[in-house]
Amino acid sequence: MLNDISLFLFATLSSTLAGVFVMGGGMLMVLVLPWFVPAMAVVPVHAVTQLASNSSRLVFALNHIYWPAIGPYLFGSLVGTALFALFLLNLPLEYIPQLIAVYLLLSLWIGPFARAIRRLESFFLAGFLQTGLGLVVGAPGPIALTMLSRRLENKESIVATASLLMLCGNLFKISTFLWLGFHFSDYWWPLLLAVTGACLGSVLGSLLRRRIAPQAFMLQLKWLLTLMALFTLFNSLLWE
């Protein structure tokens, strides 16, 4: 019973965090899920939980989607899923989270780097990397969100667009694990708890987000991205 309550509360907390800042929740869930499900089930269960979180959050911001990002991201996600699924068991991805963390720090705080990389960035590449890598590491980092935060000024547009992009990515991931033969029905109870908590968290997060001024939202988002990148680097050094 204590495990069930804990999983529900963690799912609610992570989805509330994502409802306010559009990020952080996925990484929190991928860190705690090994306490509740076997290692082999972490990424598939995480994908379903995040699908519930993103889709329920999207309901509150449907009118603010930035549509030009959707098509390229979907195409990139499809290509990334196809390629990463083929080599899922043989990819050397242990340093990917650290590389993403360094990229985030440079793009957020080093002006010349941000201006240079902006010419190379695309939502196709974001979809390719975020969805492809997500098959292996669960929550590879807020690659698309970093791009959206530089292109859009309206916080509701950032929330809505990022939620839809991640929703699409989670659908690709779930489809891939079904193709690989993963039995989601074996984990119906933890999935039910996590999905229920994720939907509740979306409601709470959406209510809290509307109380934050746009300028404050952007500043807090930048610092949250920074803290998550630093945590990733510190965590990798700790376990070396």
The 8-class DSSP code of residue 204 comes to: H
Looking at residue 117, its pLDDT comes to 58
Q: Output the tens digit of pLDDT for each of the chain's 240 residues.
A: 788 899 999 899 889 888 887 777 777 787 778 888 887 888 889 899 999 998 988 887 788 899 999 999 999 989 988 887 776 656 555 666 676 677 677 777 887 766 665 666 788 988 888 888 777 665 655 678 778 887 887 888 988 898 898 888 889 889 888 988 889 999 999 999 999 999 999 999 888 888 887 778 777 777 877 887 788 788 777 655
CB 168 within 8 A of CB 73: yes
Looking at residue 109, its pLDDT comes to 82
> Which amino acid would we find at residue 44?
P
d(CA 28, CA 100): 17
Looking at residue 9, its pLDDT comes to 93
Nearest CA among 113, 123, 160, 163 for reference residue 144: 123
Looking at residue 20, its pLDDT comes to 83
d(CA 157, CA 218): 12
Report in angstroms the alpha-carbon separations of 43 from 35, 135, 141, 193: 13, 7, 14, 16
Instruction: Give Cα 176 distance to the centre of its chain.
Output: 17
Host domain of residue 135: 2-238
Radius of gyration from C-alpha coordinates of the chain: 17
How many structural domains comprise the chain? Answer: 1
Neighbours of 212 (CB within 10 A): 16
**Owner of token pair 């999207």:** 58
Neighbours of 204 (CB within 10 A): 16
Q: Helix or strand or coil: residue 172?
A: helix
Looking at residue 119, its pLDDT comes to 65
Looking at residue 193, its pLDDT comes to 94
> Which amino acid would we find at residue 164?
L
- Residue 168's contacts (CB-CB under 8 Å, 6 or more residues apart) are 70, 73, 74, 77, 127, 131
Nearest CA among 59, 52, 39, 206 for reference residue 136: 39
